Amino acid sequence: MKDILEEIIARKQKDIELFKQFLPPSKLYTLVEQKMIEGQSDIPDRSMKKALLDSDTGIIAEFKRRSPSKGWINEKGKANIIPLSYQQHGAAALSILTDTPYFGGYDEFVSEARLSGVTLPILYKNFIMDEYQLFQARYCGASAILLIATVITKSTCRQFIDIAHELGLEVLLEVHSECELEYVELSPDMLGINNRNLGSFNTDVDCSFKMAELLPEDICKVSESGISNPLIVSQLRSVGYRGFLIGECFMRHDEPGAALSAFIQDLKEQ
C-alpha cells in the first residue's frame, strides 16, 4: 500500500519553496513583526488550551473540505460561513485545514473566518515542516498550530515550539504511537492523539483509549480523528481527554453548524 504521508511530505516541501518565491521569508517575517509591534492583530487574546479545559464539551469543530482518502467532503463549504456557524452552535475551538492539494484548504480560510466574526481559538492545521509556516499561521490569524511528531524530528519540534510561543501561538503536538511519547517532554500546550495512521489513513478510535494511561495527567489531552458518536466523547472524557477534534462528521451535513448543535445536545444527554 502506498504511504500517503510520504507523498504529502514530498509535495509539501515543493509547495513551501513556491510560497517562499512568491513571498520571501524576510518579507513575511517583517510583515508579522510589524503586525506584532503595532499591536495590529486579528487574533483574539484567547487560549485554545484554556478554552478546552473550561468547556463542558471540548469540541474542536473542523473546517475540512477534502480528505486524501475520501476525496471531497464538502467542496462548496465556505470559510466565511461554516466556522462562524460552528462558533454560534457551541464549539469550544475551531480547526481549519490550510493544505491545498490534499485537503482543499488555504491560509486565506483562517483570515476569512476571522473577518466573518470568529473569535474562538483557531488551530492552523497543516503539515508543518519549516519555520516559514509558523509565520504563515501567525500572519493569517491562527491562535495555535499543529505539530506532528511523525513529520519532524524532536530537535526541530523543540525549535518550532519555541518560535511558536515567541509569536504568541500555542502548540498542539500530535503523536500516534507509544514510540513518539518522548516528544511529550518538550512541554507542548496540548497533546493530541491521532486515531488515524497517517501512512495508511486507517482510523481506529481505540488508539486514544490505549494511549490514555501512558500520558501525563497534567497535560491537556486531545483525541483527533474518527469521532462521530457523542458516547465516544463521553467515554474519552472519562479517561482524561478534554479536547475532541471532529470534522468530517459535521462537514458532510448541509449545515455543519446545526450538526454540531445536535451532537452537543446528544452529548449532554449521555
Active site members: 62, 64, 125, 174, 194, 224-225
Strands 241-246 and 66-67: unpaired
AA letter at 83: P
AA letter at 93: A
* Residue 189, C-beta contacts closer than 8 angstroms, at least 6 positions apart: 47, 48, 49, 144, 170, 171, 172, 220
Please count the other Cβ atoms lying within 10 Å of the Cβ belonging to residue 225.
24
Helical pair 131-140 and 154-166, crossing angle rounded to 10 deg = 30
AA letter at 28: L
* Residue 181, C-beta contacts closer than 8 angstroms, at least 6 positions apart: 175, 214, 215
